[in-house]
Amino acid sequence: MRLCSVLLICFLVAIAAFAQSAPAKPGLGFSIDNIDKTVDPCVDFYQYACGNWLKKTDIPPDQTRWLSFVELDQRNEEIMRGILEKASAGGPGRDAIDQRIGDYYASCMDEKAAATKGLDPLKPELSRIARVSDKTALIDAIARVHLIGPNPLFNFYSQPDLHNAGQVIAYIDQGGLTLPDRDYYLKDDPKMTETRKHFVEYVTQVFTLAGQTPQQAADSAQTVLRIETALAKASMDRTVRRDPKTRDHKMTRDQAAGLAPNFYLTRYFAEVNAPSFSELNVSNPDFFKQVNGLLDSESLDALKTYVSWHLFDNTAPWLSQPFVDANFKMRQALTGQAEIKPRWKRCVNATDDALGEALGQRYVEVTFGAEGKQRMLKMVAALESSLDEDIGGLSWMGDETKKQAKIKLEAIGNKIGYPDVWRDYRSLKIVRGDLVGNLLRANEFEAHRQIAKIDKPLDRKEWGMTPPTVNAYYSPPRNEIVFPAGILQPPFFDKTMDDAVNFGGIGIVIGHELTHGFDDQGRKYDPQGNLRDWWTAEDGKEFEKRVSCIADEYSNFVAVDDLKLNGRLTLGENTADNGGARIALAALRKMIAQDSSGKAGEKIDGYTPEQRFFLGFGRVWCQKQRPEEARRRVTIDPHSPGKYRINGVVQNMPEFQQAWGCKAGQPMVGENACRVW
């Protein structure tokens, strides 16, 4: 049960700071060489800031898109590779952490062993499913599969109580799909129809490899598609789910069990060894009601085929080569990725997934300095004070709501670099030479860790991302912003650069995460992380009017071909981008005004500090992506593509127009500029 972090609002999807022993590679940081001076910044700022970068950049064959985040991922992968190769070589000084991460990585790299073993490592789990002889016992097999990795049929996880965020409770939720979203099953346009064709081929191929006749395998694929289509129909739309109120359905254990008797939930909870909780949240009760009927109408054999499929799909990347190839072909259809990543990269990421806080411990030892944390804390304080002033000056918000907003801002916590307390992996057994066994045991370790949190106070020290991750997040129930070591390096933060460029980079990231506390989702949570309305009715209406402006603006942007962005799906992120840029610029202005030497206000490379701020912002989002990937992201990603993360924001900023001397009527001067924060 790899748990979806449904409550983390990340800086980008999906998944080395102040580098000391690992200096930044040339090209990664900010450079005016990326600018295309033949373009007018007031006509297309993204093209101006990124034009030369776009000309000289190709997406590497093993990537689906290319931008600063992925460039940094790549560099982090190399650092982690060094750590893991040393740890796997053994030798004197190897401690328990080195043993665990080194042996996990070594097992993963052993391609020969994987080829020899073929499907053997999965056989005990497959026979467990095959032995099920009635529908009541099927839930035991599903419970077992949930513990060791994939999530057929539904999701079970622990999260803070929506109304008492200091306490963790159990959740059951919709789930059970292989493809990225319900739209992939339900939409009839040519692209989605083609993807379903690829999916049926993929399932057929895997069942054939597993020993079924071509006819049996083709039937199995139809069964999987039929069941998943029914699950998709019962699932709530991604955009609707953004409103936490649609997922707020607390009930007793008996009520949940009675809602969908064919799930045998009481038996399931016992089987996964959940504590004896009395209440839980059912995020989408309609899903359980509808799928209850499906469990009646589908045969036991069909359901067993479906559950086995999830086990195959989940482990295919780690079985013998034909399984790996079949799995990659599906990924290719979804993302356009030309080549599979080299095995070492896949194994670095697998080790980060399984043992992220053990590998992360070694990672911060070689990359993260104390000086980094201090400078970052200073910037966070500057951005917080900037947002506080912004709230104070809002013309559309009344004093009562302002007071509440400031209390919430004051309560936002922050985490920088890496956790104070590292996860304890001592009960997780890693065996050299047993790749699939290690993977399943690591999943099981994580599932039990999540389940053990149920009905306990929230662990406030816990992190939702591993230290090497190039990303950041705001968590509404925890009311905190988090910046892993991985993002605290160029082009986001570069200690060799002027403040203007850094405020345009990591400054906007900090502002973005802070603003999430006050976007269309975040504003529904109070300072303690509870779902509680602290707005006056009038101010709430004003807010909705202002975010609608942003939703309409972004709904007009074309992502790929004729496919436009979903302005409601991306609303929270776009609101955070706009607010983040505005408060980061205000913080920079304040810093320049306070600099008595006058040095901070000087031009560099011919650009004013404000111009460099926007160029730094642009650098972060210079981006290329494959058309398939662009299409996939429009469906599932709450973030806009790089071009609109830049142009969508600057069009709303009179400060941008002043900085670049733009005139009314030019494309980067929004006619009806939107502003929330």
Question: Shortest Cβ distance from residue 638 to Zn ion (Å)?
Answer: 8
Distance (Å, whole) CA 181 – CA 121: 30
Closest CA to 384 of 587, 595, 590: 587
- Contact assessment for residue 104 and residue 438, using Cβ atoms and an 8 Å cutoff: yes
Which residues face 474 on adjacent strands?
A: 9, 481
Q: What angle do CA 425, 73, 360 make, to 5 degrees?
A: 20
| CB closer to Zn ion, 446 vs 573 | 573
| Active-site residue (options: 77, 352, 498, 513) | 513
| C-alpha distances out from residue 618 to 31, 53, 401, Å | 11, 11, 34
Is 513 one of the catalytic residues? Answer: yes
For CA atoms 174, 176, 181, 185, the dihedral sign is negative
How is residue 522 written in tokens? 């975040």
What are φ and ψ of residue 176, in 5° steps?
85, 10
Distance (Å, rounded) from C-alpha 468 to C-alpha 655? 34
Residue 397's contacts (CB-CB under 8 Å, 6 or more residues apart) are 391, 405, 539, 542, 543
CB 327 within 8 A of CB 310: no
The CB-of-517 to Zn ion minimum distance in angstroms stands at 11
CB 516, min distance to Zn ion, A: 6
Which spans of this chain sit near Zn ion (rule: CB under 5 A)? 11, 573, 576
CA distance 645 to 337: 23
d(C-alpha 582, C-alpha 391), whole Å: 12
Tell how far CA 136 is from the center of its chain: 35
Q: Which residues contact 269 (CB under 8 A, 6 or more apart)?
A: 170, 253, 277
Residue number, 471 or 502, with CB nearest to Zn ion:
471
How many Cα atoms are found within 13 Å in the side-chain-facing hemisphere of 207?
26
Report the run of H or E that residue 410 belongs to, with start and end: helix 399-411
Do residues 378 and 499 make contact, with C-beta atoms less than 8 angstroms apart?
A: no
Query: Out of 446, 542, 553, 577, which one is annotated catalytic?
Result: 577
CB closer to Zn ion out of 205 and 640 = 640
Q: Are 551 and 567 in contact (CB under 8 A)?
A: yes
Tell me the three state secondary structure of residue 509: helix
Which residues does 84 contact at the CB level (< 8 Å), separation at least 6?
101, 102, 105, 347, 348, 351, 359
Q: Which residue has the tokens 């080569």?
A: 321
Q: Which is nearer to Zn ion, 156 or 621 (CB)?
A: 621
Give me the least distance between CB of 575 and Zn ion, in Å please: 9
CB-based burial, 646-655: b 16+ in 10 Å, e otherwise: bbbbbbbbeb
In eight-state DSSP terms, residue 487 is G
Query: How far is Cα 386 from Cα 399, in angstroms, rounded to an integer?
Result: 18
Q: Of 256 and 482, which CB lies nearer to Zn ion in the complex structure? A: 482
d(CA 608, CA 446): 50
Q: Which is nearer to Zn ion, 249 or 639 (CB)?
A: 639
Structure tokens at 622: 């210079």
HEC string for 64-106: CEEEHHHHHHHHHHHHHHHHHHHHHHCCCCCCHHHHHHHHHHH
SS3 assignment, position 176: coil
Answer yes or no: are the C-beta atoms of 8 and 464 closer than 8 Å. Answer: yes
3-class secondary-structure state, position 21: coil
Residues marked as catalytic:
513, 577
